[in-house]
Amino acid sequence: MKIVMAHGSGGNATRELIKDLFHKYLANDYLDKMEDSAILPVSEYPLAMTTDSFVVTPLEFPGGDIGKLAVCGTVNDLWMAGAEPQYLTAGFILEEGLDMDLLDRVVASLSRTAKEAGIKIVAGDTKVVQGNGGLYINTAGLGFRKSGRNIGTDVIREGDALIVSGDLGNHHACIMSQRMEIINSIQSDCANLGPMVEDLLQAGIEVRAMRDITRGGLGTVLNEIAEASNHAVEIEEKRIPVDPEVKSFCDILGLDPLYMANEGKFLCITAQEHAERALNILKQNSLGTKARLIGSVAETGRPLVTVKTRLGGKRVIDVLYGEGLPRIC
């Protein structure tokens, strides 16, 4: 069965789509009221809010799908601000001709990932447009940042340590392989970063700032950090973790893992005296076994990113120019 324009008409077909599919997976006390807005309890903590849109193709890929990606991408943005995700909205834009079984799997995956992340889906919307069977998801996420968590680029200090949570480039290489029909075993790293962040915060690690390493890759994230904090940052090429199969993939196609997107990795900036303990905490999590200390924050007043190469030289890392691959998240 396929999605047709009638599924977005607001009539019986729409009601059946909501009842038979979306309600089956997403039902909860907030959604079941079917009000125009969800009424949420007030918190004593500062509110964090984010929004994102997910337009990846293919819709299903090794290691994930657009539903899992939508939840992980949203909760990770909240965690990077030190906020615990609480509520999520999800707007589905369905192209006519979308396979109903595929939509069922995506919504089931979205529901399962949201439950694992401990976030409630409190509002949603569905639109059907003409097209070729595509699917797009827009989300908004709300979370609360508990008192005592002062996380942001404004508290970065000279000498702070830069840690990445694992191998770079897996999501980018996975999606690119699928689009180019290249056979390999590379899987997307799409994952909820919450447990690793929570472990760091609960252990009292002095986390200065965090960024999930998505579009533009580590190179772009480091430049954003440098510009926002007005500090120079220095990393070492030999310390940057890259899966051997991803590295081979990059070598063949001339890609630089520094600019490749990830959906389950983050950069953590900590006080230097907490770096070793932070690294050990990350490595105890199955998602962080390959975490590495890759460099440090250098002098102030000079927003510049440099990398010490394997040959002992030094080169400047600029932001990504152009777009490496469309519809990657």
| Cα 159-161-164 angle, rounded to 5 deg | 155
Q: What is the DSSP letter of 22?
A: I
Q: Name residues of the chain where pLDDT drops below 50.
A: none
pLDDT of residue 324: 57
Nearest to 168 by CA among 220, 130, 224, 116: 220
pLDDT value of position 322: 67
Say what the pLDDT of residue 64 is: 97
| Residue 97 near residue 167 (C-beta atoms within 8 A) | no
The reported pLDDT for the residue numbered 299 is 80
Coil vs helix vs strand at 299: strand
Q: Which amino acid is at 146?
A: K
**pLDDT at site 295:** 97
pLDDT at 248 (0 to 100): 96
Q: What is the CA radius of gyration of the chain?
A: 21
pTM for this one? 0.95
C-beta separation of 248 from 185 below 8 A: no
3-class secondary structure, 143: strand
Cα atoms found within 13 Å of the Cα of residue 254, Cβ hemisphere only: 1
Token pair recorded at residue 34: 């079917």
- For residue 308, how many other CB atoms are within 10 A of its CB? 16
Q: Which residues contact 64 (CB under 8 A, 6 or more apart)?
A: 72, 109, 188, 190, 263
First and final CA of the chain: distance in angstroms?
Answer: 26
